């Protein structure tokens, strides 16, 4: 088997124990929701009200619920990063002692929405600003009224960048030799 993509840390072990205790009937819907919103880095998957309902539905404390949600998100992000196949993901999860039914639920959710999620990650901009345009200009001043042989180069570099909201701004850099 390939190297483990989900390391067995203390928090993962605790999360696996909590995941194994989660109701198997509701678990696939939770996975599906997290998988659909995994690519949205600035947003949480659940509102405060929804988290309270999840706490009640899964009989978990708030801290434990957050650990479970973070662990599921981490596992899915690792699946994206390593472009795992559903069977490989299931095998990886069973190797960290996740119950068979939960590992199958992960594999089924990954089979249904994994490629779409990977594509969403590929489309996502990793940096807050993206370089859109480059413009440049080179001027060479050969003389001035006070100096006959001057040779003074000046370069102007214009960078057009946009942020995630598609708002464009321009930066102008001026280079000159004095």
Q: 55 exposed, middle or buried (CB, 10 Å; 0-12, 13-18, 19+)?
A: middle
**In this predicted structure, what is the pLDDT of residue 178?**
64
Please state which of the ranges 4-8, 48-52, 92-96, 101-105 shows the lowest mean pLDDT. 4-8
Check residue 2 and give its pLDDT.
Answer: 54
Give the global pTM: 0.69
Confidence of residue 169 (pLDDT cuts 50, 70, 90): confident
Overall average pLDDT of the 3-12 stretch = 86
H or E stretch covering 156:
strand 152-163
Give the pLDDT confidence of 65-122 residue by residue, as tens digits.
999 999 999 999 999 999 999 999 999 999 999 999 999 999 999 999 999 988 888 8
Higher-scoring residue by pLDDT: 176, 93: 93
Q: What pLDDT does residue 126 have?
A: 66
Q: How far is CA 65 from CA 15, 41, 75, 162, in A?
A: 9, 19, 15, 37
DSSP label of 69:
H
Q: Is the model more confident about 32 or about 40?
A: 32
DSSP 80-140: HHHT--HHHHHHHHHHTT--HHHHHHHHHHHHHHHHHHHHHHHHS-SSSEEEEEEEEEEEE
């Amino acid at each position: 088997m390939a190297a483990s993509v989900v390391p067995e840390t203390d928090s993962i072990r605790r999360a696996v124990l909590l995941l194994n205790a989660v109701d198997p009937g509701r678990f696939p819907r939770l996975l599906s929701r997290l998988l659909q919103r995994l690519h949205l880095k600035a947003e949480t998957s659940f509102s405060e009200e929804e988290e309270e309902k999840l706490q009640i539905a899964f009989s978990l404390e708030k801290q434990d619920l957050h650990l479970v949600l973070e662990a599921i998100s981490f596992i899915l992000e690792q699946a994206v990063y390593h472009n795992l196949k559903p069977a490989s993901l299931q095998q990886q999860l069973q190797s960290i002692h996740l119950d068979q039914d939960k590992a199958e639920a992960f594999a089924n959710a990954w089979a249904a929405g994994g490629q779409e999620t990977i594509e969403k990650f590929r489309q996502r901009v990793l940096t807050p600003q993206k370089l859109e345009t480059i413009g440049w200009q080179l001027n060479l001043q050969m003389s001035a009224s006070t100096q006959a042989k001057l040779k003074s180069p000046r370069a102007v570099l214009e960078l057009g960048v946009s942020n995630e909201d598609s708002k464009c701004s321009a930066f102008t850099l001026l280079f000159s030799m004095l």
